[in-house]
Amino acid sequence: MSETSPEPQDASERDVTSERDAAPDARTMVGVPPEPPTGTFTPLQTPVDPAGRRALLEVDNVTLRFGGVVALDQVNFNLYEGEILGLIGPNGAGKTTCFNAMTGVYTPTSGEIRFQGQKLSGRTRHKITKLGIARTFQNIRLFPEMTAMENVMVGADTHHKTSVPSALLRLPRYWQEERSARERSHELLDFVGIRRHDEAARNLSYGEQRRLEIARALATSPTLLCLDEPAAGFNPAEKDSLLQLIRDIRDTGVTVLLIEHDMRLVMGVTDRIVVLEFGKKIAEGSPAEVRDNPKVIAAYLGVPADAA
């Protein structure tokens, strides 16, 4: 534990990183313009996928260590606008850590994450949310004593400006923003299928609580929605309706990143899948490709003794 410190990178480690950089994903090469003219504004150099969609989120060689533990080891993948990307892997593979790095809970030890071409490192968590990344939590983290409405309104407040002076004196901005937050929250609660808007969050059923988390995240008007095991503990019928909900969310123009263990759900809803194991990316591709990838099968089922 003690010999490896979390932050500083010595020269040798950096060399390894640059070697990896020498052989980048072919996809990231597309659309990178030559040297931009000096003295002018630099255009966003976001990679483009074969279908011509721009990368919304780029995870670029991200390594994250906690003491001697390497939670993420040079992970690379892009997330393109309008897609549903699945992030899967056995327990402890680093999926949630990856989420946490994206939403600013952890800062990568090396490498960087860009959202719409902008670096995320150094931004506070609420600013990252304001940029357009919203998330749910693996273990539900609602505000238990607030009503469903209020929970969603907290999310809707992300883009509001009412602060103490205008709230104290109930200036026009207060009325306007309060009304819009209220309307939007009612809409979103209906959208995810919660009827009891004024019930305290802790009194909602388990399924409703999971859906409320999604509504609260959607209220922040995200471009990218990260769902951390939204189907955990669901029965098949609930999973089916969740599947539909995720598709509906995508159809409103929100890009979705999904961590999920349920293979039927992942295979059924995602456009592409990234597979992590022990902090490393072991596969990336369409659901069919990933399903047939021997490395993935080995990671999930283990390698037969004679093959090893």
- Return residues touching other proteins (CB under 8 A): 103-105, 124-126, 129-130, 134-135, 137, 141-146, 150, 153-155, 157-160, 162-164, 167-170, 174, 177-178, 181, 200, 202, 216-217, 220
Neighbours of 143 (CB within 10 A): 14
Tell me which amino acid residue 2 is.
S
Angle, vertex CA 31, rays to CA 29 and CA 33, nearest 5: 95
CA distance linking residue 100 with residue 91, whole number of Å = 16
CA-to-CA dists, residue 285 to 95, 195, 275, angstroms: 17, 38, 9
Nearer to other proteins, 199 or 240 (CB): 199
Measured from the CB of residue 146, what is the shortest distance to other proteins in angstroms? 6
Helix (H/G/I), strand (E/B), else coil: 285: strand
Which C-beta is closer to other proteins: that of 80 or that of 174?
174
CB of residue 108 to other proteins, shortest distance in Å: 17
**Helix 172-192 vs helix 206-219: crossing angle, to nearest 10:** 140
Alpha-carbon distance of 198 to 155, in angstroms, equals 16
Q: Which residues pair with 201 in a beta bridge?
A: none
Minimum gap (Å) between residue 141 Cβ and other proteins: 4
Q: How far is the CB of 158 from other proteins (least distance, A)?
A: 3
Give me the amino acid identity at 80.
Answer: Y
Which is nearer to other proteins, 192 or 269 (by Cβ)?
A: 192
For residue 104, the minimal CB distance to other proteins (Å) is 8
User: Nearer to other proteins by C-beta: 168 or 237?
Assistant: 168
The rounded distance, in Å, linking the Cα atoms of 295 and 169 is: 62
Which strands make up the sheet holding 55-66, listed edge to edge? 69-80, 55-66, 110-115, 118-119
- The least distance separating other proteins from the CB of residue 160, rounded to whole angstroms, comes to 6
Min. distance of Cβ 173 from other proteins in angstroms? Answer: 10
Question: Which residue number, 143 or 278, has a Cβ lying nearer to other proteins?
Answer: 143
- CA–CA dist 59, 72 (Å, integer): 11
Structure tokens at 180: 């819009």
**CB nearer other proteins, residue 87 or residue 219:** 219
Kindly tell me which of 70 and 146 has the beta carbon lying closer to other proteins: 146
- Based on DSSP, count helices (H) and strands (E) in the chain, helices before strands: 12, 10
Q: Are 203 and 175 in contact (CB under 8 A)?
A: no
The least distance separating other proteins from the CB of residue 221, rounded to whole angstroms, comes to: 9
Which residue do the tokens 């209906």 mark? Answer: 190
Cα 137 to chain centroid, rounded: 10
Judged by CB, which is closer to other proteins: 170, or 295? Answer: 170
